[in-house]
Amino acid sequence: MSTIIARFAADHDGHRITVSADDGVPIAVRTFGADDAPLSVVFVHGHCLRTESWSFLRDQLSRQWGPGTRMVFYDHRGHGESGVADPSSYTIDQLAHDLDAVLRAVVPTGPVILVGHSMGAMVTLAYSRLFPAAIGTRVLGVGLIAGAANGLTEVGLGRFLHRRAVSSLQVAVLRAPRAMQASKRLTRLIFEPILREATFGTRKVNPRMVAVATAMLNETPLLTMSSFLASLITFDETATLHRLGTIPALVLAGSADIVVPFAHSVVLASQLAGSELVRLEGAGHSVILERAEEVALSIAGLVDRVFADLRGQGPEYAAVS
């Protein structure tokens, strides 16, 4: 009986693995599904979030797929259960290298689909630039959720970000971390209604989802939050998009996203030959929480497209389903 209970607990919480990044930073990973599944889907979370940001979506996909498709989730450096690092390494390019380390350690063989939300979508684009040989050979599909290729400071809340403000914040955090952390808690209390509006869309949202999102944001160290901003405001991977070629791509976002407005997704989809553009009316930036069922259906559709391509490659993939 204890063995059965232990197996159920492991399935519910995932199999935990610690991967060492190339510079030694420990990366916390959780996997769900069979290790010998014919396909692995790797999920890359957003800024100031963690593995738990995928929990509602993961539950939906687990019910659809069972163990037949392997799912891999991990926390970025400085986030969640992963280790902290020198702030100079808090860049999108470094996160792309960390993603490569996770793939090498946890998914060394077999086809992979990358699904990124917000900053995670940007990490996916950076990965395709830094590791172009993997695209179309190992990485056979991508999901870009609430993401952008560039121009984060041109529309939406990103307009309030600029180099001087980010530099001032980083200096303040380094000089007076305790005072800044206290200020962060007070700011969250005062601006929680604004946070809710920015994170979620126009529909009424389950209070549990709001609590999950707020907790993740509150638990993210200020040094992590501030250090990644410089990389975000200068982010530009428009010249990278052609590297994704014609592999199946899902570009999905909410119409009410004021953090990364839907216009960014329109631009992304227009430059990806194999893309499907999905607009969820009334959804905000936390679309993977508030509209998990609909996002899961779209990701399942992406996986089906990749499986169809695999079956067309030869008899060794004929039984893939």
* pLDDT mean across residues, the chain: 82
The tens digit of pLDDT for each residue in 161-172 reads 555 554 555 555
Higher pLDDT, 2 or 293: 293
Least confident of 46-55, 93-102, 199-208, 277-286: 199-208
Q: Indicate the burial class of 131 (C-beta count within 10 angstroms; 0-12, 13-18, 19 or more).
A: middle
Q: Does domain 11-312 have CATH number 3.40.50.1820?
A: yes
Query: Once rounded to an integer, what is the mean pLDDT over residues 18-37?
Result: 96
Higher pLDDT, 166 or 46: 46
Domain boundaries, the chain: 11-312
Q: Tell me the whole-structure pTM to 2 decimals.
A: 0.83
**pLDDT for 320:** 47
Q: 319 pLDDT exceeds 60?
A: no
Report d(CA 126, CA 106) in Å as an integer. 20
Query: Once rounded to an integer, what is the mean pLDDT over residues 256-262?
Result: 90
DSSP string across 36-50: T-S-EEEEE--TT--
Q: 82 pLDDT exceeds 90?
A: yes
**pLDDT for 6:** 34
Higher pLDDT, 254 or 172: 254
Report d(CA 282, CA 33) in Å as an integer. 32
Q: How many CB atoms lie within 10 A of CB 292?
A: 20
Query: Once rounded to an integer, what is the mean pLDDT over residues 43-70?
Result: 92
**pLDDT for 190:** 36
Query: Once rounded to an integer, what is the mean pLDDT over residues 237-254?
Result: 95
Are 95 and 123 spatial neighbours (Cβ–Cβ below 8 Å)?
Answer: yes
Q: 202 pLDDT exceeds 80?
A: no
Which strand (E) or helix (H) includes residue 130?
helix 119-130
**pLDDT for 174:** 53
Q: 5 pLDDT exceeds 70?
A: no
DSSP string across 196-233: HHHHS-SS---HHHHHHHHHHHHHS-HHHHHHTHHHHH
Q: 276 pLDDT exceeds 60?
A: yes
Higher pLDDT, 318 or 78: 78
Are 75 and 260 spatial neighbours (Cβ–Cβ below 8 Å)?
Answer: no
3-class secondary structure, 135: strand
**pLDDT for 232:** 87
Residue (of 200, 199, 198, 173) closest to 184 by Cα position: 173
**pLDDT for 149:** 95
Least confident of 113-127, 190-204, 243-257: 190-204
List, in sequence order, every beta strand (DSSP E) within 52-138.
70-74, 112-117
Q: 8 pLDDT exceeds 90?
A: no
